[in-house]
Amino acid sequence: MFSLNQALSPIFLDIGPITIYWYAIIIVTGVVLGLVLATKESVRLGLKDETFTDLIVWALPIAIVSARLYYVIFEWDRYSDREWWAPFAVWEGGIAIHGALIGSVIFAYYFCKKRGIPFYKLADIAAPSIIIGQAIGRWGNFMNQEAHGGPVSDWAYDTFLQYLPSFIENQMTIDGVLYHPTFLYESVWNLIIFALLIYLRRVNPLRGDIFLTYVMGYSVGRFFIEGMRTDSLYVVGNLRTAQLISIVLIIVSLVLMYLNRKKHWVTVQYNGKKRK
């Protein structure tokens, strides 16, 4: 029933001792596109054109370190009996997007304090760039044949997955078994959230709403998609870490949206005008 053509190689370029993987190329592409979008919007809203370039120079390595730290903490049993350097071996795989987001948001808050920039202003500008970067980045998982779901049932295949492009079906067929392309589900969901955030810019909501909508929107999709994956981190028993974090982020975002209005913590709209 399933096509068994050869899968795509995860290697983009291999010259002597230098190996460049598609994963890195795709991640960098997402970062560059996000940076261009954020810079253009930040200039339109009155920030200096180097604001996001200065931010990403620090935020990107911090995001990588925090993504690895998050993963190692929740997978400590895997590293506790290994060499001392094993937790630092990022090239062996093992990073988590929630860790990257937590680390980069904390640094962004510090960055805003130092530069005298309202945090919500910068976060609202960055939100569409972050989610489009995530949508693109998931295709790095596709090239590595990772972050997939469980085996596809005959019903699922006959109902909707038979319409998958052949290159996706081939890549998600591992050892003769077709797995759910959860990377694709999340990528498509992230594109939907991206479109929603761009629409919210036009609506000109209360400052902070775009960023908090991103947090909630991504978390909703991640909660359901995470339940399909086979490589999840677990907190206790069958409780998946990403699902727990997603629930917490949804609740926190809703509470902040409420308090921003109820307590008048935020009185400025996205474009900087005072709320009427």
Retrieve residue 206's tokens.
């209360």
Of the candidates 69, 191, 91, the residue with the CA atom closest to the CA atom of residue 131: 191
Check whether 82 is labelled as a binding-site residue.
no
Please say whether the beta carbons of 144 and 10 come within 8 A: yes
Q: Are 129 and 38 in contact (CB under 8 A)?
A: yes
Name every residue whose Cβ is closer than 8 Å to that of residue 51 and which is 6 or more positions away in sequence.
Answer: 39, 42, 115, 117, 122
Give the C-alpha distances (Å, rounded to integers) separating 158 from 2, 186, 228: 11, 21, 18
CB 241 within 8 A of CB 233: yes
Q: Would you list which residues are annotated within the binding site?
A: 138
